[in-house]
Amino acid sequence: MLSRLNLAVRPCIYMCRCVHTKEKGKPLMLSPRTNKGMAFTLEERQILGLHGLLPPKIESQDIQAMRFKKNLEKIPDPLAKYVYVMGMQERNEKLFYRVLLDNIEELLPIVYTPTVGLACLQYGHIFRRPKGVFISIMDKGHVRSILDNWPDADVKAVVVTDGERILGLGDLGVYGMGIPVGKLCLYTTCAGIDPRSCLPVCIDVGTDNETLLKDPFYMGLYQKRDRSHRYDELIDEFMEAITDKYGRNTLIQFEDFGNHNAFRFLRKYRDKYCTFNDDIQGTASVALAGLLSAQRVINKPITENRYLFLGAGEAALGIADLIVMAMKSVGMPEEEAQRKIWMFDKYGLLCEGRSEPIESHQAAYVHPAPDQITKTFLDAVNLVRPTAIIGVAGAGRLFTKEVISAMGHINDRPIIFALSNPTAKAECTAEDAYTLTEGRCLFASGSPFSPVTLPDGRVFQPGQGNNAYIFPGVALAVMLVEARNISSQVFLEAAEALAEQVTSDELAQGCLYPPLSNIRKVSISIAVKVAEFLYSNGMAFEYPEPKFKEEYFLSKVWKTDYESFLPDVYDWPESVTKLPNL
């Protein structure tokens, strides 16, 4: 074969130092990390045992991306699109991320909310190839040996779930693995983090979902959730095993744990490990960024707003705590800031003396019982007269026409955030919010909505308060400066950095967030501001401190361009390196 080597190889012999691979032949094409499909050059095909295993045409990645996109456009069903797109990740990693980054506005709703929710519901039915590490309660005492089976040794970021509270869909057990996989896709797409440094993990301790326990395709333990001390011991063992194997500064992101465990683990681990909870802190940061953008429109600081939450779980409390931190940063006392925030859960307003339970982490937002009876959220709106309502209950369309109309009557520019995911769980639609307030509201949602055109011809582009704006940039900064802890202040810095990216023209169109097409630039900007905070507060361990942080982060970005797998000249046989001059 070498005797028939195309003469075009000669320049490569003397000019190119290339990426090495131990694989040859068909195994090279079967690995998503090394597969380039028909983009393998003639020289690579001949040297690496691929000649004849591919059609003779040599394609560019541009052509491959065009084919991928064209085939995707033929698929009408979102779940089928998800299967097709994630199937490409299993076959050709570089091409997958190239297409995802080039078409982020279109494909983010497929690989992330809302379609990832459908994928989790059907996880056992659409299963193709396992991704990540599955650790069950039966593995207690052996977590480290399971991690040793993961092939990538240089893991820097872990996203973990126990599947108890997947989006607004409830307990999906091991089917929740779709969330860590999706989140880490966004680590790479939005912030350019090397996928080889990312590890998705699902902790399986059973499920209380009766439907899944009767599902023959369910892939987890057929048992009720273990809520005993064994569960805590397993999580402790997991945290210790991760940092023991990968290092003290390994980032561990918690996703979709039940409310009680989410707050418990955040308090328990935040000072001991490099960890954060995206449902609490990431959601808070992106919501605060939307409020900071809104204050530029209404010329009213966040200290002058009154906030009413629909929901009092981890998302609501995370947002409320960060709003309080933001108000404290401009001089307002903490207790005064807390008095501006009300919460309404399935039992009604959080008020003193109510018979229903109030968790300890909700105590800061419990108000004296009002004289007026508030049975419904509309009653609460009329009582509190908020300037902003924020929906994070995952209970569906509870921002009714009456509620939205009341907000429009109370405020010249009402703030309406319907942040629950997926789309079916959103508190209202963008169309209702804009129409019922005659275009005066400042609206954001957790899942995407199409632009809204009012009868007078005005067009509004709804902003999506998507956590993808926050956690990839935060992760990039934390990983590259080797922080060992993540303070809540980090998420205030990230929120301010995100709000700064919104232009005046975008605000005029009703959008409180920058376009998703700029997500890589936004993530880098957030990473720079977070890194500056970490260095200035002695929380960074990578020295010397980069002087030009943006250039530094850009230099570390993982590239989607194909690499050459031709052996280095010094590894080639002498018969190849000494080809005769012709």
Which positions are catalytic?
Answer: 112, 183
Distance of CA 439 to the CA centre of its chain: 30
Where do we find the tokens 């012999």?
13
Q: With contact defined as beta carbons under 8 Å apart, do 61 and 94 qualify? A: yes
CA distances from 405 to 61, 305, 408 (A): 51, 18, 5
Helix, strand, or coil (residue 566): coil
Where do we find the tokens 């009341």?
406
Strands (E), 346-435: 348-349, 388-391, 415-418
- The DSSP code for 157 is E
Cα dihedral sign, 27-31-37-40: negative
Angle between helices 489-500 and 471-481 (to 10 degrees): 120
Whole-angstrom Cα distance, residue 93 to residue 152? 15
Q: What is the DSSP string of 183-246?
A: HHHHHHHHH---GGGEEEEEEE-----HHHHT-TT--S-SS----SHHHHHHHHHHHHHHHHHH
Q: With contact defined as beta carbons under 8 Å apart, do 97 and 196 qualify? A: no
Whole-angstrom Cα distance, residue 342 to residue 386? 9
Whole-angstrom Cα distance, residue 121 to residue 170? 10
Helix, strand, or coil (residue 309): strand
Strands (E), 76-221: 133-136, 157-161, 198-204
- The DSSP code for 547 is S
Write out the two tokens for 419.
Answer: 């942040």
- The DSSP code for 539 is -
Q: With contact defined as beta carbons under 8 Å apart, do 156 and 479 qualify? A: yes
Whole-angstrom Cα distance, residue 12 to residue 571? 13
Amino acid at 311: G
Phi, then psi, of 253 in degrees rounded to 5: -100, 120
Amino acid at 189: T
Cα dihedral sign, 109-460-343-316: positive
Return the HEC string of 279-296. Answer: HHHHHHHHHHHHHHHHHH
Write out the two tokens for 170.
Answer: 């409830």
Write out the two tokens for 483.
Answer: 């922080």
Whole-angstrom Cα distance, residue 26 to residue 48? 9
